[in-house]
Amino acid sequence: MNRITALAALITLLVPAVYAQDPPTQQDPPPAVKPETPVAQVVEPEVKALLEKSAKAYRALKGLQSTLKMTLTGEGEPRTVQGKVVIERPNKVRVVLQPGGPKITSVSNGTLFFQGEEGKPTYLKTKIVEGMGLSQVLDRTGALLFPIVNWMLTDPDPAKKIILPAFSSAKMGKAETINSSVCDVIEFEVMGGQAKATIAIDRSDN
């Protein structure tokens, strides 16, 4: 079981006291600081089972399409990043990202990479290195915002990668209907609820 461990370090600061005639006064040592109790990560068995079952189904497919919508909050106005990735085995990929500005499109046709930005007349073209697998192609085409897709398709233990050590819990949420498809929802909490994330998986995918 993964754990989040908070470590407390005790630093003792020694300040020398100089006296003309009297000997130094011995000071009581500072009280010991107890380390915080490690927080056990809570992962429902259904979560891992769903991820493993879905990954197995994805790997049997010749192609896959996934969409992303992420809202970034902090200083200033919230910003939404949207994207779409289409994959055709063995290593054809099309990624479209809308990071709040011009749309960026990246494509791998199996032998070449192409990348262009909306509104610009030129694009970047590079050759795919021989022997490069799907995982590397996904990273090269800018699909870093879709790491879950990469892990589900290529990693031998996708659940271990997806359920990050920083998550304090991973639980099944209430099913949702997205684009007319019923989806199972996994809810993650970070550090006891300081932040939350969700993954929706179409029930027809598992």
125-182 pLDDT per residue, tens: 988 887 778 888 887 776 666 788 888 888 889 999 899 888 899 999 999 998 888 9
Q: How far apart are CA 86 and CA 106, in angstroms?
A: 11
With beta carbons less than 8 A apart as the criterion, state whether 92 and 108 touch: yes
State residue 20's pLDDT score: 36
State residue 175's pLDDT score: 94
State residue 27's pLDDT score: 61
State residue 173's pLDDT score: 94
CA dist list (Å): 91 to 150, 175, 193: 12, 32, 38
Q: Is the dihedral of CA 171, 177, 178, 183 positive or negative?
A: positive
**What's the pTM?**
0.67
With beta carbons less than 8 A apart as the criterion, state whether 86 and 138 touch: no
Q: Which residues of the chain register pLDDT less than 70?
A: 1-39, 72-75, 142-145, 192-193, 206
